[in-house]
Amino acid sequence: MWNLSTPWHELVIRASTIFILLFIMFKIWGKKHLGELTAFDFVILLIMSEAVQNALVDGDKSIPGGLIVIATFMILVSLMNIIAFHSRKAERLLEGSAKVIIREGRIMERVLKKERISLPELLEAIHEQGILHLHDIQLAFLEANGKISVIKKQKN
């Protein structure tokens, strides 16, 4: 329970590798999926977590082994936050940036296509915010976290 069966530095390397690869995979997966997890997406995440568990600890079931992996993750996240805080370019790379998906009531179809958002999904997100018509929208953004934000046109 308390004795490591895998060297601590190997656990750090394993955790760092898995962290970086999962980060890249989620960047490729897209913002839309991070903002709205379906039941299927949730099941996939659970299966993924089970799949990487052995790769993380190499059979080490000790408490220190688990704590080393967790500490490695926390340190990597903290480093990413520090880097993003000090560099705007790194922030956009690590965290992403908002993308305009509607401007003056016009849908930016190229952005929707790139982000793999269907028109019914977009309309549903807009309707959830109490907006019925596209012409009522000044701007709509796909935020870095996958949520859709809408700015209504000013009524004169």
Q: Copy the structure tokens of residue 54.
A: 């052995």
Predicted confidence band of residue 146 (pLDDT cuts 50, 70, 90): confident
CA-nearest of 20, 10, 19 to 58 is 10
Domains and CATH numbers, the chain: 8-95 (no CATH), 99-152 (3.30.240.20)
**Which pLDDT belongs to residue 59?**
81
Which residue has 């490729």 as its token pair?
Answer: 28
- Inter-residue contact 101 to 111 (CB < 8 Å): yes
Q: What mean pLDDT is predicted for residues 72-101?
A: 92
pLDDT tens digits for range 25-51: 877 776 555 556 677 777 877 888 887
| pLDDT grade for 156, boundaries at 50, 70 and 90 | low
